[in-house]
A and B are shown apart, each in its own frame.
Chain A
């Protein structure tokens, strides 16, 4: 089981780091530019750009936006891999051998996804870094002002809130696509349809949970 979990961490988390870093970097940059372009009142300090970037990236973009991306990348991988095993009777083969197929296929994915907060932590850092680069090299705010904004009225509970959300989203990303793959019926065409359905439902569940959790934790 340990080797299965490590394999899943490699495929689900480590294998997604490239896209997570890429998206976080540019989203951080875009948030900074958008904020800077909308703060054209000379009485507002430039440090607000850093503040807005930090809040946006930590509270929403890193945990929620990244989870939607992961629902597409990891979710469709989970559904299609388990669905293909269903179609090609590999799951029946496991059952015949006396293996608890649900436990064998899904449990390692759930455990592996508990590493997902580490990926989101990196997304937070890279997002803020992207914002800093956009601010400084785009000429929107001096480095000192941006960093001052980053440190302004920092509430560590916001990071805790983001990680609580992330853990729950991780569970959703592992289980909803697994359900759609494991209980699918049909052939290769249905595997594709199940992947799409899994992505849609995972995204819907994440969006709804995001609202409920925000209301419960911060409201």
Chain B
């Protein structure tokens, strides 16, 4: 569980996060949505410990990040998995090398044990024949799956995903969403996803936080988001023509 208490973050004069508080529970897919520039990425980087909040606290299963020593922070980082927007796979390593990297760095496992674990997670993300390929030789969807495999190979307690569907076709995007949700349930991970994708909101948004101009504007579930009266949320959710039509049909049907 991650508890966020009133965090603020500024860069020079730009006050990006303005007092965000929330709780992310274990075994749930938590989505952070909002327009570009609303502070989603900065919020995620604060949760990852890449940015230190100017004010407020972030608590990971009872441990306040600001009170941890450098080595404790490093240990905590090893409990985190991250899927970056562009996958951030190491170009110089094969798929297998990328997934094995955290094991090689932080465990004392033998080569055979590491290989078994890599085979297991790659199979889990439905990648069987790509072990020896380089990231440049596989598709965007496969790269995302490798990134997920790398993120879960150390059995993390927390999984962070920054726009995992960007650049993917709708079908592959749904596959990735479902994979993340399955993994979240299977390993009881606290998963936090930054997204713009309304399909993801509908499919896997067990808890959704809507950020606007650095504030937490709204919080709820995927069931509640389509019924909310919050104008900012409604404008965001129904910004695409498709969703406007769906909403129109819904209202007509209800009347």
Name A residues whose Cβ lies closer than 8 Å to a Cβ of B: 84-85, 88-90, 92-93, 95-99
Contacts and interface: CB of A to CB of B under 8 A. Distances in A.
B85 A89 contact: yes
B84 A93 contact: yes
A96 B48 contact: yes
Contacts of B250: none
B136 to A, nearest CB: 11
Contacts of A90: 88-91
Contacts of A93: 82, 84, 88, 90
B75 interface: yes
Nearest to B71: A98
B77 interface: yes
B86 A96 contact: no
Interface residues of B, number: 20
Interface of B: 48, 50, 74-75, 77-78, 80, 82, 84-86, 88-91, 101-102, 105-106, 160
B50 A98 contact: no
A26 to B, nearest CB: 33
Contacts of A97: 77-78, 101-102, 105-106
Nearest to A89: B88
A92 B105 contact: no
Nearest to B154: A97
Contacts of B50: 92, 95-96
Given A92-B50, A93-B82, A98 B88 contact: no
Contacts of A95: 50, 77
A95 B48 CA distance: 9
16 contacts: A88-B86, A89-B85, A89-B86, A90-B89, A92-B84, A93-B82, A93-B84, A93-B88, A95-B50, A95-B77, A96-B82, A96-B160, A97-B77, A98-B74, A98-B75, A98-B106
Contacts of A99: 105
A84 B86 CA distance: 13
A98 B77 contact: yes
Contact of A88 (B77, B88, B101): B88
Nearest to A3: B104
Can you list the 4 inter-chain pairs with the closest CB atoms, starting with the nearest? A98-B77, A89-B88, A93-B88, A96-B82
B40 to A, nearest CB: 15
Nearest to A99: B105
Contacts of B48: 96
A90 B101 CA distance: 13
A98 B84 contact: no
A174 B224 CA distance: 56
A92 B88 contact: yes
A196 B49 CA distance: 33
A90 to B, nearest CB: 5
Contacts of B105: 97, 99
B15 to A, nearest CB: 21
Given A90-B91, A93-B90, A97-B78, 17 more contacts: A85-B90, A88-B88, A88-B91, A89-B84, A89-B85, A89-B86, A89-B88, A92-B84, A93-B84, A93-B88, A96-B80, A96-B82, A96-B160, A97-B101, A97-B102, A98-B78, A98-B106
A144 B158 CA distance: 75
Nearest to A11: B92
Nearest to B150: A93
A85 B84 CA distance: 13
